[in-house]
Amino acid sequence: RQGSELSGWAMGRWTYEGIDLNHNFADLNTALWDAEDNDLVPHQFPNHYIPIPEYYTLANATVAPETRAVIDWMQRVPFVLSANLHGGELVVTYPFDMTRTYWKAQELTPTPDDEVFRWLATVYATSNLAMATEERRLCHYDDFARVGNIINGANWHTVPGSMNDFSYLHTNCFEITVELSCDKFPHASELPDEWENNREALLLYMEQVHRGIKGVVRDRETEKGIANAIISVDGINHDIRT
């Protein structure tokens, strides 16, 4: 992303072809929520690994090559934890990024794994030096320090087609967005400070892959591992796969 907090705010958000990468992933949320409203989940419509709509795969679909490349990467490598780094604010956002009420610009829209996402966001926010300091100033008008410097993405502003929502609904990956600086275009001399602000937070965040349950799902008779076994947890309407 390019631009600073004083000028060129939206510069660099669009590709050379004029595509906004921040909204360019397939909207899987709407299909899931429509299926939920019609009581089709999970027996007739999955609550995870939601397939990409056919229209999105067409050659003439408005999908940037960068977006297609990232999706191909996600499908080849079984990521479980991710973060994407933005500038312009000091806050960590977590899915869902898209409001469930389609006409609302802001609406709290938690995932079934809201407690895990809130934990992941809090780990980063509390160890990021710029966010954690009591002397931090507001970037704009939102005082995110009052809420621990984390927010549900949709409760801040709706983003249809976000990478976070796509990762969660199409893969096993849990992804958050880190808005790591008020200034979207810091001077080169400021980069060492930005690194120090984020170094420990990045390391602590990566360590979260060791939380939760780990193991191998095996065939009872052969004891061989079972690929693509669906794992369901009571009370969480979002399964994962081995």
Residues 90-101, mean pLDDT to the nearest whole number = 98
pLDDT at 6: 45
Which residues are tagged catalytic? 179
Q: Give all domains of the chain, ordered by start, each with its CATH number.
A: 21-213 (3.40.630.10)
pLDDT at 11: 64
Residue with tokens 């004083």: 6
Residue closest to 131 by CA, chosen among 145, 143, 121, 141: 145
pLDDT at 10: 60
Stated pTM of the model: 0.92
pLDDT at 185: 87
- Taking only the tens place, the pLDDT of each residue in 185-240 is 899 999 999 999 999 999 999 999 999 888 999 999 999 999 999 999 999 999 99
- Taking only the tens place, the pLDDT of each residue in 132-166 is 998 888 999 999 999 999 999 999 999 999 999 99
> Residue 1: pLDDT band by 50, 70, 90 thresholds?
very low
Q: What does the alpha-carbon distance between residue 49 and residue 110 come to, in Å, rounded to a whole number?
A: 18
Two structure tokens written together for 184: 């979207």
pLDDT at 137: 86
pLDDT at 14: 83
Residue closest to 168 by CA, chosen among 73, 63, 47, 76: 47
